């Protein structure tokens, strides 16, 4: 019996010691758990930091992308400028081709036949009034393309200058043929007759040949002399005639005048001197 009591006493202490020893084990186990939680926190902080860095990088890229668009605008402006230059070049080419077409088809002949006078050309000569002398230093062309010194026209004889708007037109033909028919009457009183117009020498030659005009024709395409005589206003030639005595002094003028009346009135005035 004493042996059983000792056995019971010997077994109880170990149970208590096991409880005591189990407490430290729980503490030691808690410590590792705390240590495991810290790395998780640091990892989450690192992830958050990397996320914020990524966001900043993205926002920075977005800002840089927002600031870059001006460059494409400049690149877009260059094609626009090139397009405008191409359009201007095409317009210029179209104009040149149109001018060449008009020249080839002969549509510009009427414009070349009687060009409007330039202000600088007409300003070279003062207006010629009654009593004034034919201007010196003015050279024009006759129907043959030869030079004609205007001041020298009346050097030896008196001169009748009759002006027509356009060669080989009905009214001008009536006026010219009127001077043709009584031309001997002018030469008999020592007066020469000249027809003055803005037509080209070629146009005047055709007209002269067609109507058998016995007097020279003078071409004044810029209307230099025509304007000085007061018959070139508005870029057109007024039908008229002017009578100069020997030496070039202007004695009489009819501006305007009717085609059929011009030859008769000129001859009557000369005979009345």
Q: Annotated catalytic sites, by residue?
A: 172
Token pair of 38 as six digits: 């810290």
Q: Which residues neighbour 200 within 8 Å (Cβ) at sequence distance 6 or greater?
A: 112, 113, 219, 221
Total Cβ atoms within 10 A of residue 156: 11
| Maximum separation of any 2 CA atoms in the chain, in Å | 196
Helices 170-181/201-211 angle, 10° precision: 60
């Amino acid at each position: 019996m004493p042996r059983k009591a000792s056995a019971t006493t010997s077994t109880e202490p170990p149970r208590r010691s096991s409880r005591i020893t189990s407490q430290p084990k729980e503490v030691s186990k808690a410590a590792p758990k705390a240590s495991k939680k810290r790395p998780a926190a640091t990892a989450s902080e690192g992830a958050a930091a990397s996320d914020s860095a990524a966001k900043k990088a993205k926002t920075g890229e977005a800002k840089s992308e927002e600031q870059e668009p001006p460059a494409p605008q400049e690149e877009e402006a260059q094609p626009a400028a090139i397009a405008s230059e191409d359009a201007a070049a095409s317009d210029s080419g179209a104009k040149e081709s149109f001018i060449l077409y008009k020249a080839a088809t002969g549509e510009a002949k009427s414009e070349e036949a009687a060009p409007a006078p330039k202000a600088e050309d007409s300003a070279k000569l003062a207006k010629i009034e009654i009593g004034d002398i034919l201007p010196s230093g003015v050279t024009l062309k006759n129907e043959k393309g030869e030079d004609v010194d205007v001041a020298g026209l009346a050097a030896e004889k008196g001169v009748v200058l009759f002006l027509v708007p356009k060669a080989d037109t009905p009214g001008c033909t009536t006026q010219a043929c009127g001077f043709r028919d009584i031309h001997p009457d002018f030469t008999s009183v020592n007066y020469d007759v000249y027809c003055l117009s803005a037509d080209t020498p070629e146009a005047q030659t055709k007209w002269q040949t067609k109507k058998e005009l016995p007097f020279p024709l003078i071409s004044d395409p810029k209307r230099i002399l025509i304007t000085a005589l007061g018959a070139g206003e508005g870029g057109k030639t007024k039908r008229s005639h002017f009578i100069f005595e020997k030496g070039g002094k202007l004695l009489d003028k009819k501006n305007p005048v009717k085609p059929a009346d011009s030859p008769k009135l000129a001859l009557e005035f000369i005979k009345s001197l």
